[in-house]
Each structure stands twice: as structure tokens, then as C-alpha cells.
Chain A
Amino acid sequence: MTPMDRRRFFKITAITGTTAALASCGNPENQIVRFIPDEELTPGVAVWKPSVCPLCAAGCGVTARVMDGDAEVFRSGQPGVTRMGLVRKLEGDPEHPLSKGRLCVRGQAAVQVTYHPDRLVAPQRRSGDRGSGQFTEITWDEALSVLVERLDATAAAPAQLAVLSRPRRGRRHELVAEFLRRFGAPAPVSFEIFDDAVLRRANDLSFGRHQLPTFDLARTSYLLNFGADLLGTWNSPLAHSVAYGAMRQGRGGSRPKFVQVEPRMSQTGASADEWLAVRPGTEGALALGLAHVVMKAGLRPADGGGRAGAQIEGWSGGLPAFTPEAVEKETGVSAERIERLAREFASYGPAVAVIGGAPLAQTNGLAQALAVNALNALVGSVGVEGGVSFMPQGPVPAAPARTLREALAAAPPQVLLLDDANPVFAAPAAWKVRDWLRQVPFIASFGSFIDETSALADLILPDHSFLESWVESAPESGAATAVATVAGPAMRPLYDTRSMPDVLLDAGRRLKTPLAPALPWQTFEEMLQAPAAEPAPVAAAPARSTAAAAPTAWRAPELDGSAGEYPFQFMPYPSQALFDGSLAHLPWLQELPDPLTTAMWSSWVELNVRTAETLGIADGDVVEVASAHGSLRAPVVISPGIGPDAAAMPVGQGHETFTRYASGRGANPLAILAPVAEPSTGQLAWAATRVKITRISGADGSLILFAGATRERPDHTRGRG
């Protein structure tokens, strides 16, 4: 049979089942061939196999519950059924230092990546116009020869080869970087909208660690958090949550205090003992105000700030400009409260301050992070029990990844390989990523799904799912000791897919001009079994440290758009379910009620009660949100947890092309963001856009809430809780 459309075959077998059976030999199952299983299985008995969750950078170890079952497979081009070990459920690995046997909401849904009905089951070649999403299935031999031919054609100008992936650590990324280096191409380009480049840079300046911090929440007595969704989506949320449980009720003595400072109530903020609304982008000023009080009251001397303090202009003089009164004006937090919080923070140690997420996605993000770092240093929270520390790290790659912005500023390469990144969706429309990609003559994707970016590819070489491959993680934070996790496949591949590192190694061997020197491994498995570099001890000199820089002066955030025309500060935030939108294809996560609104399958805009009243907007009404760079429409959820001059919106929906569950659903707030960057890192300042809000119509049913929805309702009230 032709490299036939497998998906359609799978679809029709069930339908033809009964009719065909009548014509054949009495047993309705006769038409499907059964293959001998490849593995020994005890029927109905679960075995647990280790794996690593790939959905975010946290790198949590999981265990997969594997039980036998019948799966439809292809063997030498023939469709049939075989009994195989199938992953039924994912749980945290009890032995793993990050997950400690627990698993977050997204990690548990990861099993649906493997069994997704729209997963690509074999290599594809573009058959329609670019971006049309039309592909034809081809064999791996064809696919590899197309890829190698393109790579060979680039060998004369090797700098014309680029790889675009997500910022992750580990040996898979080392392999990609090594391939490029030996090919003569520049370092890989990496892009993730919610990447914490600004915080890494700040930590480098403050502490000489170009790395995300680890917090000892389990033993802290006072947690002061500036905007980080640390129990939901930020940094190592699962490890944070496990430690949070211990912090709350896991130990005797007095109960620690948790203060959250943010302009919009997040899921993390909901757990705080004290919640402070602050003007967006002024969190750092508040931190400096607290430091001012601590120093002025003589609770700690200024030189306690050490190197981190020295990064702040005016620190040694006790930050005279940051009196509680001045800070009240800037942040909206009362002077009295600033005094009180400062005294609490300095008195009830071990105390730790955290900053992450939106406060760093401002034009003054670096100054904000440096302020919080200095506050930690001032109260002696760095490298101590209950404070902030840095996980021991292996050597950081010599050639750090390039940012997408840098790549976009240069001419498009001749050949682009896409691995797991979807910037067409996740970068602001103003970056014109799609136009740039259209100028690339050849794009190959290793993706398992057709999304907005891989729809532009000429060739798709679908990777195994993580459960079918060798997986590993080398997280940069989340535990006090170094963690590196490697696991073999938890199940056999369902389809005609190949592991991306193996494809790269294979392609490397087939090149006319071989890689110099050739990569020493035949397979990724072999690479993983070769010894990795030992993690450096904590005290060792940091691998990439910036020389002492001039102190940074505090500055107010700059927002895109005039306050007159665009009165609302727009606050996109990573969705608890869909994260940055890369998980919008998983039905469990689509139907997960949002913790604060109970919305499912929807986009929404959160507006303050009074704001909505003034604009004549009722719950569920559809509004237009317009920035100077674009507009979108979405229903409103009226919320008491957001200030009157702000509008918040979860990221994740608004996919044009991303499987049956996500395509054409909701709106994408990232698309209308201003192309404003934090200057020191070039990282997108995704919280620095102003918008205006216009009511368009009454409720249109697009807002689906779970709250109050546990009883059947007639259609005319649907979507209203």
C-alpha cells in the first residue's frame, strides 16, 4: 500500500468493522492483523517506569504506570494490532529530589501528548503553500535525504544553518550545540516567552551566579514574594509547592508568614497571609523602600548587602531617596505598611524575598531584580537555611544560545531546524516572526504537532514522545543539591517516529562533508551513558560571571502607549493549565477550571469591579482590547483581585493552528504586545504594554465557567456561571 494515510486508516477501521465482518468469516475482528508482542507483559499488572516531564524547564522526575493493552500499530507498512506496554498514568517519582513523589497539574496531563489524536505519526513533506498546513506523508529515507541534501547545500556557508529551540539545559541541547559547532554554524537560537533571562542576569551581577535561584521555602520563616507565581507556573513550581506544604504545617513552632506583592491576585497570591496590591513595575521600589527602613532603623548595616548591595545606586548611603513616604507615592503602598513589613522582614528570619514573572517583564526588570537581590543579601538570606541559594552547576556551554531577537535582527538563514519552539504564536505580532520565517528557504521541524510555526515548515521529522524516548533533565534550580535525571523509554513508540537526537546524529553521519570532528556517539542513548561533566561545587568560581558593573540606578518602568489613549496596563500571565500556550492541545488542560475564575476552554479578560461598572460592562460581556500594536476580543470576568487601571489576561488560547482542541479557540494576548525589551538582556518586556478596552457586545457564550455549572442548564444560559 502507498505510504497511506495512517490516521484515516485508524479512523475507518472501526467504522467498517461491523459491515466488513458480515462479509468475512463470522469473526468481526478478522480484518485486523495481530502482531506478536515485542515485550513480556503480565496482563493487568502495572509496572512503574521512570521518566522525566518535558513540559517546562523545571525537569521533574516522574514515574509512569505501564500496563498492557492493545494498540494499533504499523509493522513494515502493514497496519495491525499488538499487545504492548502502555503508559496509563504519570505520577511524581518518590525518589526524585524535585518532585518527591508529587506531580503538578500539567505534568499529569503530559500523558496526553503521547496519545494525542492529532499527533504526527510519520515524516511529512509540505504539499500545499507555506503555512497552509498541508503535508504529505513520506518515508524516513526520503525525509532524511531531503534534510541531508539541504544540509550539504549549506556546507559551503555553514553559518547559514540555524536551530531554533526552547531554553533548556541538558544533553539533548548539548548535542544540538555540538552538532552546530562542528558543522560550523552559530550557536542555537532559543526562545521562550516566559524565560527568566533578566533574573539570571541580575543574579550574575548580584551573586556571580548566572542562574535561577532556589528557595528553601520549607525552612523559611518569612516569605516575601514580588509577583512570582511560584506555586503555579514559575521556576520550579512543583518543588516550591512541595516545600510550601512543609512550610505551612510541616513543622512545629510558629507559623511562617507569606506576603505577596503583585498588581493582580495570582493563584500563588491567593495563598498569602498578606496580599499587597502594588503599581505594576514598582515592586523594586518597594524592595528598596524596605531596605531603606531596615538600614535606617539600624536593624542591619548597609554593608550587609555586600556585592548585591553594591549593584544599587545609593545603597551605601542607606538609599536616602527611598523613604517610606517617597515609596508610597511610587508604589501605592502606605508608608506605615512599608515600615511594618520592613521590620517584620528583618526580625522574623530566616526570611527570603522572591521576584519573578511580570515584575521582571518590565523595561526596568533588571533594576527590580537587583533590588530584591540586595534585600535578600541585606538580611543575610543568601546561601543559608530558609534563604535563597544556587544549585551546583556543571560548566555552562561555551557558546550561549542566541536570543530570537538577535536572530530576527539578522538576515534569515538558509536552513532552519525547529525543535519545540513556537514563536509565531508566542512572540508579539510586532516581531513579525512569520514574515522572517517565510524568508527562510528551508525549514525542518522535529515537532509532533502542526502548530503555527511548524505549519511553515517544508519538512517535518516527528520526534518520539518523551515517554517513548531516552529523556533527561539538568534543572538549574529547585533543590539544594545538583540534580541530573536520565531515564530510558517508558514504552515502545506507537508510530513511525524517530528520536530527534538520533535523527541529528544520523544526518551528521550522512553528510557529504562530514562534521569535524565527527560526533562520537551513534545514538542519544550512547551519549547519555557516556559520563557527563561533574557539577561544580557551590563555592567554585562561577563559570560565566560578569565583572563588577557600575551600580544600577532605580528607574520607573516605561510603558508602551500613552496613558490618555490607552488607560489600562495590560498584564498577560501564564495560565495555570496552558502555561505559555504550548499545552493548549491537551484536552484535560483545556477542560481544567482555572483556579481563580473556574473558566474552561476559554479566553477571558479580568477587569476590576469598578472599572467594569464605569465602562458599563457586565460579567461575560465581550470587549475589544486594543494596544498600539493590535487588538483582540474576549469575554470579561469581573474580578476583585485586580486594580482599577489594569486588565489581565491568561496566555495560552488563541491558537490558529494547534490540533483540534486548541485551534480557533479564544484570543492570544501575546499577539498585541508592544515589542518593548528589557534593555540589558533584550528579553521581551511582556508586562509593559498599555491597552484600551471597548465593550463590543453582551455575552456570546464563549466564556465557559465551571462554577455553578454542576447542574444541567438550558442552552440560552450557557457559559454563565
Chain B
Amino acid sequence: MPAWLVLTVLALSAASCVDAPFSERQQAERVLQRSRWGTSSVYTPARTGLADAARTHFGLRADPVQPFAYSHRVHLAQEMACVDCHQGVESGPRAGLPGMNTCMTCHAAIATEKPLVQTMAKMQAEGRDFAWARVYDYAREAHVRFEHAPHIRAKVECSTCHGDMRQQDVATRVVDMDMAFCVNCHTQKQASNDCLTCHY
């Protein structure tokens, strides 16, 4: 690969620090990429290497880095509901992370004097979006196919799994979503605990 091309990419990446775009698919792909390099004749069933296995075993996970310090507390205090921004939560498997257009629905008129909102308006005009980092997510090797909508229908509160967001500014992992957490609730509510309920 020619050096100028690498430089171009690096320059691009430096220029776009502020926006910190992010995508689950890319993360998944990065895992895939890395594991592809890591694939050796050595047999490693579920983890792509010793380091991966160790990290998973000890539950080590880097904290998400968000584009800016969005405060859930402030927004929820304005009598907003979770579903206002996480619009897929009642209808589909994923709640969804709001894009620029969702933010600007309100912020086109509200708090327009704040520098951050002005930056956002500028970004929107340029057609550029946020890239939120996922706070909760499952490792690809966990093969969890979680769906939000059926849980909402079963009257599970958002806070059961995500903590009380009214108390949080930037979202952090306050609930340890290990399998015991899911299984306990399923047992209490007499939902199926067969492996295939979540893993397929």
C-alpha cells in the first residue's frame, strides 16, 4: 500500500476527532478483522486469542468514548421519555441511538446559543452525524440475539437493565448484563430459559 494513502487516511482521522463516529458493525468488523489475523492453526474455539479470552473472562471492557458529554439527567428532567430518542424500542429488536436529525428536532429552536448546539447545527448543515459509542452490547462470540420490543411489551422497565438514567449524565454501564442477570429475571417472570431463547 502506498505511503501517501496511509497518510491521507491518518490525516482524515485526525481531522475528524471531534465527531468520533462509531458504528456497531464496524466494531464487529474490527473484531472480525483482528481475528482473521489471529487465526492460526492453533485451535481456539470461541475466543480469537488468549488476550481476548482473558478480557472476556475478567469482564474487562474499555469505557465507551462519546462524541461529547450528553447528559441523560438534564434531558429527562425536561419530561422527555426514553422512547423520544430511542425510537425503535417499542417496535423492534433495537432501541436505536438517535442521530443528528433527532437532536435537531428540538435543538433547532432550543438552547441555540450554546456553542455545542451551534456546532451541531453546523454539522447538520454539512450532512454529518454523530457516532455514539455503544454502552451496553454483547461480544460477538456471545451470540446473544436480544430484542427490546418483547421486553417492553412484558412491562420490563428501561431502568431494570439500564439503571436510573435520571441520575446519570453520560451513560455508563451500571448494570452488569451477565447471563445470570437475564436468567434471574426470566426465572422470576417464568419466561423460557432455554439456551435457544437468546442464543442463535
Question: Inter-chain contact count A-B, CB under 8 Å?
Answer: 131
Q: Which residues of A contact B13 (CB under 8 A)?
A: 20-21, 23-24, 30-32
Residue of B nearest to A75 (CB): B127
Q: Which B1-45 residues have C-beta < 8 A from chain A?
A: 1, 5-6, 8-10, 12-14, 16-17, 19-27, 29-30, 33-34
Chain B residues lying within 8 Å of A15, measured Cβ to Cβ, are 1, 33
A35: nearest chain-B partner, CB-CB = B127
> Which residues of A sit under 8 angstroms from B92, Cβ to Cβ?
42-45
Extra inter-chain contacts (5) besides given A36-B127, A44-B88, CB under 8 Å: A8-B1, A31-B16, A32-B16, A35-B129, A44-B96
Given A17-B30, A36-B129, is A30 in contact with B101 using a C-beta cutoff of 8 Å? no
Q: Which single member of B24, B34, B131 contacts A34 (CB below 8 Å)?
A: B131
A27 & B9 in contact (Cβ 8 Å cutoff): no
Q: How far is the CB of B135 from chain A (nearest CB, A)?
A: 13
Report yes or no: B95 in contact with A30, Cβ–Cβ below 8 A.
Answer: no
On whether the beta carbons of B95 and A18 are closer than 8 Å, the reply is: no
Q: Are A81 and B26 in contact (CB under 8 A)?
A: yes
Flag B88-110 by CB within 8 Å of A: 1 or 0 each.
10011111100111000000000
Q: Is the CB of B21 within 8 A of A32?
A: yes
A559-599 near B? 1/0 per residue, CB < 8 Å:
00000000000000000000000000000000000000000
16 A-B pairs, CB-CB below 8 angstroms? A4-B8, A14-B30, A21-B13, A24-B14, A29-B22, A29-B26, A30-B16, A31-B10, A34-B129, A36-B128, A42-B88, A43-B96, A44-B92, A45-B92, A80-B21, A81-B21
* A-B pairs, 10 with minimum CB distance: A31-B13, A34-B21, A45-B92, A43-B96, A44-B93, A43-B94, A44-B94, A43-B88, A29-B22, A44-B92
Q: Are A33 and B9 in contact (CB under 8 A)?
A: no
Q: Which of A12, A25, A34, A43 contacts B9 (CB 8 A)?
A: A12
**Contact indicator per residue, chain A 42-82, by CB within 8 Å of chain B (1) or not (0):** 11110000000000000000000000011000010001111
In the complex, what residue of chain B is closest to A76 when comparing beta carbons?
B127
**Minimal beta-carbon separation of B93 from chain A (angstroms):** 4
B198 to chain A, nearest CB (A): 15
A24 to B19, CA, bound (A): 12
Query: Contact at B91–A42, with CB atoms within 8 Å?
Result: yes
B26 to A27, Cβ gap below 8 A?
A: no
User: In the complex, what residues of B have CB within 8 A of residue A29's CB?
Assistant: 20-23, 26-27, 131, 133
B9 near A13 (CB under 8 angstroms)?
yes
Asked if residues B5 and A31 are in contact (CB atoms below 8 Å), the reply is no
A539 at the A/B interface (Cβ < 8 Å)? no
Among B6, B22, B93, contact of A27 (Cβ-Cβ < 8 Å): B22
Interface residues of B in 112-138 (CB under 8 A from A): 124, 127-131, 133
Interface on B for A, CB 8 Å cutoff?
1, 5-6, 8-10, 12-14, 16-17, 19-27, 29-30, 33-34, 65, 87-88, 91-96, 99-101, 124, 127-131, 133, 147
Residues of A within 8 A of B9 (CB): 9, 12-13, 16, 20, 31
Least CB distance, A214 to chain B, in whole angstroms: 42
Q: Are A32 and B26 in contact (CB under 8 A)?
A: yes
B6–A12 CB distance below 8 A = yes
The reply to whether A14 and B95 contact each other, CB–CB distance below 8 Å, is: no
Residues of B within 8 A of A537 (CB): none
Residues of chain A lying within 8 A (CB to CB) of residue B96: 42-44
For residue A118, give the distance in angstroms from its CB to the closest CB of chain B. 19
A26 within 8 A of B: yes
Name the A residues within 8 Å of B17 (CB-CB).
Answer: 24-25, 30
**A641 contacts across to B, CB distance below 8 A:** none
Which of A17, A25, A43, A45 counts the most chain B CB atoms within 10 A?
A: A43
Which residues of A sit under 8 angstroms from B6, Cβ to Cβ? Answer: 12, 16
Taking a contact as CB atoms under 8 Å apart, the answer to whether A34 and B10 are in contact is no
Report B-chain residues with C-beta under 8 Å of the C-beta of A8. Answer: 1, 5
CA distance A27 to B67 in the complex (A): 9
Contact indicator A36/B23 (Cβ below 8 Å): no
A83 located at the interface, meaning its Cβ lies under 8 Å from any Cβ of chain B in the complex: yes
The answer for the CA separation of A353 and B148 in the assembled complex, in Å, is 56
Q: For A8, A13, A16, A36, which residue has the most chain B Cβ atoms within 10 angstroms?
A: A36
